[in-house]
Amino acid sequence: PMGSERTEIRKRQMATTPETPGAAQAQLSTGNRGSNACCFCWCCCCSCSCLTVRNQEEERARRTSHELQAEGIPNCEESPAPTLEEVNAWAQSFDKLMLTPAGRNAFREFLRTEFSEENMLFWMACEELKRESNKSVIEEKARLIYEDYISILSPKEVSLDSRVREVINRNMLEPSQHTFDDAQLQIYTLMHRDSYPRFMNSAIYKDLLQSLSEKSIEA
């Protein structure tokens, strides 16, 4: 009887005693392995897919940016190659430079190196607007000029003072060929004062002048 009681007590103790640390650790380890396996698998898959998506988005952004830049920069004006006399005349005055398509193209190439090509593009757009006579076309072109070069949200915004901007805003109520006249004059003056002297000392101008001079001597 005593042996039976001891056996019964031992069974009850084993039934109510918590699992041994070894057993608990084994179960925890097993659970962790399962959890880690799932976590590792999820992280790995997620990381791979995220990298793929991110690379695709970056490539799309680069392609879109390149396409926008290509679309946003009109081609240079068609013009015959400048003569030595014309290139020499550009040094006499800014007006003579701006009078010829070849001069504007060379100057525009220089402005691009200074990241200020929008000044020439704006001036050219205003000149084109002045040649329009159809009212609906004038309104549409004025709107595009405003969005491209006047709006503070545009990456091609030109530098204008507040007075000129107020004039433009009033003129945009009834757009005409002369809506941007004040702004065009201010940008023309800015190019004349700031960019033109640097252009005359630039490699673009000097190389062109030297090339034409050498050809003239050979001829």
Over residues 46-79, the pLDDT tens digits come to: 444 444 444 554 444 444 333 333 344 456 788 7
Q: Per the structure block, which two tokens stand in for 79?
A: 């013009």
Pairwise CA distance, residues 128 & 95, whole Å = 18
State the average pLDDT over residues 6-35.
49
Residue 65 CB neighbour total at 10 angstroms: 10
Asked if the model's pLDDT at residue 184 lies above 50, the reply is yes
Q: How confident is the model at residue 40 (pLDDT cuts 50, 70, 90)?
A: very low
Our measurement of the distance from residue 133's CA atom to the centroid of its chain's CA atoms, rounded to an integer in Å, reads 34
State the average pLDDT over residues 178-195.
98
Pairwise CA distance, residues 161 & 151, whole Å = 13
Q: Per the structure block, which two tokens stand in for 212?
A: 């034409």
Rounded to two decimals, the pTM is 0.66
Instruction: At 208, give phi and psi (nearest 5°).
Output: -65, -45
Pairwise CA distance, residues 126 & 142, whole Å = 9
Question: 49 or 183: which carries more pLDDT confidence?
Answer: 183
- Architecture, CATH, for domain 84-216: Orthogonal Bundle (1.10)
Question: 113 or 7: which carries more pLDDT confidence?
Answer: 113
pLDDT at 121 (0 to 100): 97
